[in-house]
Structure 1
Amino acid sequence: MPQMRWDRLLSSERSRVSAKRSGDIRSEFAKDYHRIISSASFRRLQDKTQVFPLDRGDFVRTRLTHSLEVSSFAGSIADTAFARLAEDHPEITPQVRADCVEILRCAGLIHDIGNPPFGHFGEYTIREWFSDNLPKLTCRGKSVYELLTPQQRADLENFEGNAQALRVLTRLHFLVDENGMNLTYALLNTIIKYPVPSTGIDKKSGDIRTKKMGYFAAEQPLYEKITNSTGAVGCRYPLTWLLESADDIAYKTADIEDAQRKGLLTYTILLTELTSPQLREKCHTAEELELLEKAAGMLPHYLETAKERGMPSTEENAVQNFLVRVQSMMICAAAESFVRNYDRIMRGELRTELLADSPARTLSDALSDIAYRYAFNSKEILRIELSVSEMMNCLLERLSGAALRFETPQEKITDSKLISVISENYVKICRAGWSSEGTEAYSRLMLVTDYVCGMTDGFARQLFRELRGEISG
C-alpha cells in the first residue's frame, strides 16, 4: 500500500470545528491534553484498579497512576525515536517531532479510559456473561441473538476496553454536544490499537492488528472518518506502536513492583527467575542474552548499594532501582525497534510488537511470565476475582433485564427505577439507536456496557450491595 505521510497523519481535524480564540497559542494537541486532564472520565481512573481489585493499600497502582506512567513513557519513546529518525528523514521536522510527543502524552492518559471496573478481569467477565447469556435474552418478545447482526453479537462477546475508549471519548463524555471531548483525529487514531471490527478478529494470524477489535459497530462510521482523515486506512496508525510499547513497559514493571510490595514476590525469587538457564535458552540472539544478563546483574548490584547506604528495606530498594533501570533499557529498545522498522510501519506492513522485535524481547516476556505466576495466579487474587465475578454478573443480569424491557410492554415496575440512575445522556444515546428492531436491541445492551464501564470499583461494589438489598444507613 502507499506509504503514510506525516502531513496527513498529524490531522488536527475534529468532529466539531472549534472556534479559534485570539491569544491562544496552544497547538491543537496541547488543547487535547487540557481537555483530558480536566475531564470527569479521566478522574474516575483514580478508583479503578490495575491488577489488585478492591485493594485498599496506598502503594498499589490504579488506572490513573498507570495512565500517568504510560503518558510519560510514551512521550520519552517518541522523543528518542524521532530524534534518531530526523537524522535521515527530512520529513521528520522539529514540529513533527514535537507534535508526536504531545499526541503520545495525551494518548497515554486516555488509553484505558474505556476499561470497566476491577482491572482486566472486568473485561473478561463482560465477555463471558454475554457469550453465555445472549441466546437467553429477549427484546419486545423476540430473541436478542436473532435480532443482532453477527458484528453486533461479536462486539458484546468480544467486549474490548480499547473500543469502549473510542466510544467514551467521542460519544459518552457529553460536554458541549454529541461529539464527546471532540479530540483531534490524530489522537483518536493513536488509541485505536486494532484496525479491525469484532468480525475481523483472528488471534491465530500472527498479525498484531487482528488480535482484538478496535471499534464497535456503532462507531464504525466514525472510525472510517478518522482514518480517511489521517490516511491510515486499514493500517495501524504509526504512533500506536509507541503507545503499545509504553503500556507494556509500564504494566510489566509495575506488576513486578506491586507483587513484591504485596509480599507475593521476593528479591530472591526474582533473581532466581532472571538468572535461570531455562530463561537464557529462550534468547534468540546474542543481543537478547546480553541485555538479559545485564538486567539480571543489576539486582545484586543495587542490593549491595542499598546495604552500603543503610537503606531500611534493602531488597525492596534493590528491586525498585532495578525496575527503574529496566524501564530505561526497554524505552531505548522500543525506540530503536521503531527506527529500525520505520519504513515497514509507514507502509502498514509490520506485524509484531516493537519489543518483540528488539533485544528486550526475552526480558519483556520474562517479566510478564513472572508477574502472572506470582501475582495474577496467587490465591489472594483468585479469591478476589471470584468476588468480582459475582458482583459483575449480578450487575450485568439486573441491568440487561431492565435495559431490554424499559419503555416496552414487558417493562417491570423496578426497570424504570433502575434505568433512572443511569446518566440521562447515556439513555438519550441509547434511544437514538432505535431505528430498527436489531439496532434497538444492540443499543439497549450497549447502554448496559456504557454504564458498567463508567463505574469505578467503589461505585460498582456499592450498587451491587444496594441491588441485593444491603441498604446503608
Structure 2
Amino acid sequence: MNWEQLLSLKRFGDVNKRLRKSQDETRLGFEVDYDRVIFSSEFRSLQDKTQVIPMSQTDFVHTRLTHSLEVSVVARSLGRKIGEKILLKYPELKSEHGYLPNDFGAIVASAALAHDIGNPPFGHSGEKAIGEYFKTGLGMAYKEALTPKQYQDLCDFEGNANGFKILTQSREGRVGGLRLCYATLGAFIKYPKESLPKKPTQHVSDKKYGFFQSEKDAFMDVAEELGLIEAGTEGNVSFKRHPLAFLVEAADDICYTIIDFEDGINLGLIEEEFALEYLIKLVKDVIDINKYHQLTNTQDRISYLRALAINTLINEAISIFEANETAILNGTFTVSLLDKSKYEAQINDIIKISVEKIYQSQDVLDKEISGYAVISKLLDVYISAVNNDYNGKASNYDKLILKILPKTIDFKADDLYIRLLNVCHYVSLFSDSQAILTYRKFSGRLVY
C-alpha cells in the first residue's frame, strides 16, 4: 500500500480526482467529514446509548456519544503525530501533493468519531440480542431462504458493519450516505472482510467483519480506490487494513481501558486505593508525586492519573506504529498496536478488573437481560408486520405498525435479506430510552 493512494479525498459519485493541493485550507475535505458525522441524526442518538452502565442516571457515566468524542480527541493527537513522522519519511507527500500532519489527524479523528455510530441500543449486548434472534429465536425460520453469508450477517449482527452501512447507504435525497472521503472510510473499517469465513486467520483484521452483503459493492469501491491489499481466498472478500485504522483502534482501546475504569471508580464499583495502585503502575515513569499528593479528593486524583495514562499510551502507540510502519503498509502487522506495548501487562490488569467489577456487575447484567427481551420483542413485531405486508397477509395490527415505520428505509424490498436486515438496522438506530418506550407500547403499557 502507498500513502498517496491511502489518503484519497475521493467521495462517492466523484468523476474527477480530488487533489490535496486544490483543497481550501480553511475547510479541508477531511475536516468536512468530521462535521458531517457530528451533525448526523445517527450520531446524535449516541447520547442515549450505553457505554458502560446501561440506562444509567448518573451524571458522570459515559454514553456512546461522550465516549466517541473522547476517542476522536485521542485519535486526532495520534494522527497528527504520526502524520509528522510519515511526512518526514515520505517528503514528496508534502512537497508534491500538499499533505500536512493535520490531514492525518483529521482523517483519524473523523473515523474515530464515527466508530460506534452503528451500535444498537444496550451496547454490545444489543448486537448479541439481534444475533440471538436469528441463531436461536424466531429468526431461525429464515435460514433456508438466505445465503450462508446473508444469514451470518444477521446471526452475528455487527455494529462495525452497520456503521459502514450508515456512512455509505443511499436513499432518496442522500445518495452515497454521508459521502465521506474514502481515506476516512478506510480508516473507519477495522475489519475489512465479510461475515464468512469467521476468523480465517489470527490477524487482528479478521477478528470480526466490517460490511454487510448489502454494502459489498460500496466496500469494494473503497478498497479499490485506496489500494488495500487483497487477502481473501476462494472468492471470499477480505483485505488488509488501512494503516490509519490501527490508530482508530488504538484511540478506542486507550479510552475504554482508562475511562471505563475511571467510571467504575467514580461509581464506587472499584475501590479507590485498589484502582490507584493499578493506574500508578501505568504512569510511574511520568507521575509528579508532589502534585499528586496535593490533590485532596478522589475525582481529582483519578483525573490526574487518567490524563497521564492516556498521554503515556498515546506516545506508546505512536512509537509502535513508527517502528512497524513498513509491516503495516505491507499488511504483515497482525495485532493491534497496544498488543505490542511494554505496558501490556498493566493494561490487561486494568481490563480484567473492569470486566469483573464493572461489565459483569449486577446492575449491568440485570439491564442487559432486560435489553434482550426488549430487542427480541421489537424485531418480532416489525419483522412480522413487514413480511406479512409483503405476502399480502397484513393484519390490522400489522397495518398500524407499518404506519409508524420511517419512509427513509426500504421495508418493501423483494429481497427477504434486505427486508430483514433493514428491520435490524432500524432497531439499531433506537436509543436505549426509545427502545424501552417502544417495547412498553407493544406490550400494551402506554406511558404518558
- The answer for the alignment partner of 1:52 in structure 2 is 53
Instruction: Give the aligned CA root-mean-square deviation in angstroms.
Output: 2.4
Give the TM-score normalised by structure 1. Answer: 0.85
Task: Give the partner amino acid of 1:380.
Answer: D
Query: In the aligned structure 2, how far is the partner of 1:452 from the partner of 1:7?
Result: 39
- Pick one of 142, 164, 167 that aligns with 1:166: 164
Whether 2:130 is the aligned partner of 1:98: answer no
Answer yes or no: is the 8 Å Cα contact 2:80–2:103 preserved in 1: no
- The answer for the alignment partner of 1:34 in structure 2 is 35
Answer yes or no: is the 8 Å Cα contact 1:134–1:145 preserved in 2: no
Mapping of residues 17-416 of structure 1, within 5 Å: 17=14, 26-93=27-94, 95-133=99-137, 136-137=140-141, 144-171=142-169, 174=171, 176-202=173-199, 205-233=201-229, 234-271=239-276, 293=281, 295=283, 305=291, 308-309=294-295, 311=296, 313=297, 315-416=298-399
Query: In the aligned structure 2, how far is the partner of 1:421 from the partner of 1:335?
Result: 49
- Listed as ranges, the gaps of 5+ residues in structure 2 are 230-238
Give the TM-score normalised by structure 2. Answer: 0.90
- Pick one of 3, 26, 36 that aligns with 1:6: 3
Answer yes or no: is the 8 Å Cα contact 1:114–1:165 preserved in 2: yes
Task: Give the partner amino acid of 1:228.
Answer: E
Task: Provide runs of 4+ in structure 1 moved above 6 Å.
Answer: 18-24
- The answer for the alignment partner of 1:444 in structure 2 is 419
Seen in structure 2, the aligned counterparts of structure 1 residues 272 and 24 have a Cα distance that, compared at 3 Å, is: closer
Shift of residue 36 of structure 1? 1.9
SS at match of 1:424: coil
Deviating more after overlay: 207-216 vs 89-98: 89-98
Shift of residue 178 of structure 1? 3.1
SS at match of 1:426: coil
Shift of residue 294 of structure 1? 5.3
- Pick one of 419, 430, 448 that aligns with 1:455: 430
Answer yes or no: is the 8 Å Cα contact 1:74–1:104 preserved in 2: yes
Answer yes or no: is the 8 Å Cα contact 1:82–1:92 preserved in 2: no
Query: In the aligned structure 2, how far is the partner of 1:126 from the partner of 1:396?
Result: 8
Query: In the aligned structure 1, how far is the partner of 2:23 from the partner of 2:114?
Result: 28
Query: In the aligned structure 2, how far is the partner of 1:305 from the partner of 1:424?
Result: 57
SS at match of 2:47: helix
Shift of residue 252 of structure 1? 0.9
Residue by residue, what CA displacement relative to the aligned partner does 1:225-257 show, whole Å, maximum 9, x if unpaired?
A: 111111114210111000000011111111111
Task: Give the partner amino acid of 1:349.
Answer: T
Shift of residue 24 of structure 1? 8.7
SS at match of 1:359: coil
Total equivalences in the alignment:
432
Residue by residue, what CA displacement relative to the aligned partner does 1:345-396 show, whole Å, maximum 9, x if unpaired?
A: 1111111000001213222222211111110111121112122222122112
Query: In the aligned structure 1, how far is the partner of 2:193 from the partner of 2:166?
Result: 18
Residue by residue, what CA displacement relative to the aligned partner does 1:105-163 show, whole Å, maximum 9, x if unpaired?
A: 111111111100111111121112211136643xxxxxx21110000011011111000
Seen in structure 2, the aligned counterparts of structure 1 residues 165 and 11 have a Cα distance that, compared at 3 Å, is: same
Query: In the aligned structure 2, how far is the partner of 1:134 from the partner of 1:79?
Result: 48
Task: Give the partner amino acid of 1:231.
Answer: G
Query: In the aligned structure 2, how far is the partner of 1:67 from the partner of 1:370?
Result: 23
Query: In the aligned structure 2, how far is the partner of 1:78 from the partner of 1:22?
Result: 19
- Listed as ranges, the gaps of 5+ residues in structure 1 are 138-143, 275-291, 435-439
SS at match of 1:200: coil
Whether 2:445 is the aligned partner of 1:470: answer yes
SS at match of 2:163: helix
Seen in structure 2, the aligned counterparts of structure 1 residues 24 and 245 have a Cα distance that, compared at 3 Å, is: closer
SS at match of 2:169: helix
Deviating more after overlay: 222-231 vs 381-390: 381-390
Query: In the aligned structure 2, how far is the partner of 1:411 from the partner of 1:52?
Result: 39
Seen in structure 2, the aligned counterparts of structure 1 residues 308 and 209 have a Cα distance that, compared at 3 Å, is: closer
SS at match of 2:408: helix
Task: Give the partner amino acid of 1:225.
Answer: D
Seen in structure 2, the aligned counterparts of structure 1 residues 89 and 178 have a Cα distance that, compared at 3 Å, is: closer
Deviating more after overlay: 459-468 vs 176-185: 176-185
Seen in structure 2, the aligned counterparts of structure 1 residues 127 and 294 have a Cα distance that, compared at 3 Å, is: closer
- The answer for the alignment partner of 2:236 in structure 1 is none
